[in-house]
A and B are shown apart, each in its own frame.
Chain A
């Protein structure tokens, strides 16, 4: 298997990296290119940019950010937020993104996953799943999607998804550790790579997640500080995690 991956996640709104509590009180924390490049220098294996303003703005704005990132960042990156059509996704890949991520749009119209896989190849299609108590949440986790998480994960795989980005809403922001039980159930249910998200508070948590998932998404644990990624990598290596 390829090496376990550390993937910093950057929330983007209006072309800037932002930090907010449950999508409110957004605070500007920097430029996506500068922060992305700093994480890349700090040893990130990939990056994820989530455009949290994308439901109100256009994917053209997201593509402009992706184009700027591609000029300066030479590791793979995923773009998510507001992608509803193959054309949206294609514009992001043509700008230089390697993968796109879909969430609510795939729940509303699951055929979208097949369309994306056919047009872009499965390896470029990430389905993000927000899960709480074994059930899928949609629309930034504000609504019950009326689906079982494991069943939805299997359906995503059958429809051609290339990766699952699974966020435990129960754990998100708690820093209590990833939902390892849920991740293990997903590992057994699908043969796609799984990116674990939600709950990381320390290196031990990340190491535990990387035993059941292929990658760990890093958000609040980094405090928007690339230097924290460097120290986290060192701590993980001390714990015996084999990183790039």
Chain B
């Protein structure tokens, strides 16, 4: 059975990620070092998240250096970058070269279902910041939607809240782990 550990940093909708992972038959464990897949979830602000991560930050950096899979979701993707301009500037984990900047869109926050290309599948987004990185492998309306760098995969959308499409995406992440 695939094991999954979720990096916790206080506030946020972690339960939805837990439920989604369990629904797919994976086992949740607390060990960020040993789990087949580490998930960096994301709801809240960059500064409080980085403060809340504590020693989990080093565990995630070590995992990435060893080439072991990490999935970042929404803010979890933005935290993996070098820095974020949220909250007046916050240093990120530096797993992926790039930065998170204030979203330029017609309506901010950008909330709702939007297609991701390539593929054209729609997923649910809710964000006010976006990743700017050369590691972007899929976009949604010009914004980074999927980012890959080494063993890190980050998504700006919420697969755990994207119905059947999201479940299929998570299933792929688990099978690759």
How would residues 92 to 115 of chain B score, 1 for a CB under 8 Å from any chain A CB and 0 otherwise?
000000000000011111111110
Verify A96–B15 contact, CB threshold 8 A.
Answer: yes
Residues of B within 8 A of A2 (CB): 110-114, 125, 141
In contact, B43 and A124 (Cβ under 8 angstroms)? yes
- Report A172 CB to chain B, min CB distance, Å: 23
Q: Which segment of A114-122, A134-142, A197-205 sits at the interface?
A: A114-122
Q: Which residues of B contact A124 (CB under 8 A)?
A: 43, 126
Contact B112 A45, beta carbon cutoff 8 Å: yes
Taking a contact as CB atoms under 8 Å apart, the answer to whether A3 and B43 are in contact is no
For B45, B105, B113, which residue has the most chain A Cβ atoms within 10 angstroms? B113
Chain B residues within 8 Å of A3, by CB: 112-114, 122
Q: Which of B121-177 contact A (CB under 8 A)?
A: 122, 124-128, 141, 158, 160-164, 166-167
Known: A3-B122, A119-B11. A214 touches B19 (CB 8 A): no
Residues of A within 8 A of B112 (CB): 1-5, 45, 193, 214-215
Indicate if the CB atoms of B45 and A74 lie closer than 8 Å. Answer: no
B43→A70 contact, CB < 8 A: no
**Taking the complex as formed, is A106 at the interface, i.e. its CB lies under 8 A from any CB of chain B?**
no
Q: Is the CB of A94 within 8 A of B13?
A: yes
A121 touches B106 (CB 8 A): no
B156 → A minimal CB distance (Å): 12
Enumerate chain B residues within 8 angstroms of A71, measured Cβ to Cβ. 19
Judge if A130 is at the interface, Cβ distance under 8 Å.
Answer: no
> Given A75-B161, A123-B127, A244-B122, are A193 and B111 also a contact pair (CB < 8 Å)?
yes
Inter-chain contact total with CB atoms closer than 8 Å: 110
CA distance in complex: A193, B107 (Å): 6
Indicate whether A173 reaches chain B with its CB closer than 8 angstroms: no
Question: Which residues from chain B contact A45 at a C-beta distance below 8 Å?
Answer: 112-113, 124
Does any Cβ of B come within 8 Å of A32's Cβ? no
- Say yes or no for B89: interface residue by CB 8 A criterion: no
CA distance in complex: A160, B160 (Å): 25
Nearest Cβ in chain A — how far from B88, in angstroms? 13
| Cβ A90 vs Cβ B111 within 8 A | no
Contact A40-B163, Cβ < 8 Å, known A70-B19, A97-B13: yes
A90 adjacent to B161 (CB under 8 Å): no
Q: Hey, what's the 0/1 contact readout for A165-209 against B, CB within 8 Å counting as 1? A: 000000000000000000000000001110000000000000000
B67 CB-CB contact with A under 8 Å: no
Q: In the complex, what distance in Å separates the CA atom of A124 from the CA atom of B166?
A: 20
Asked if A11 lies at the interface with its beta carbon under 8 angstroms from chain B, I say no
CA of A191 to CA of B104, assembled, Å: 11
Residue in A74, A118, A193 whose Cβ sees the most chain B Cβ within 10 Å: A74
Contact partners of B12 in chain A: CB under 8 A? 93
Per the bound structure, the CA–CA distance linking A162 and B107 in Å amounts to 10
How many angstroms between the C-alpha atoms of A93 and B41 in the bound complex?
14
Beyond A70-B16, A123-B109, A162-B109, 7 additional pairs, beta carbon < 8 A: A5-B113, A74-B160, A74-B161, A90-B11, A97-B13, A119-B11, A121-B75
| 17 residue pairs from A and B, CB less than 8 Å apart | A1-B141, A2-B112, A3-B113, A45-B113, A75-B124, A75-B161, A98-B16, A119-B44, A120-B43, A121-B44, A121-B45, A122-B128, A123-B111, A124-B43, A192-B107, A193-B109, A214-B107
A residues engaging B (CB < 8 A)? 1-5, 40, 45, 67, 70-71, 74-76, 90, 93-99, 118-124, 162-163, 191-193, 214-215, 244
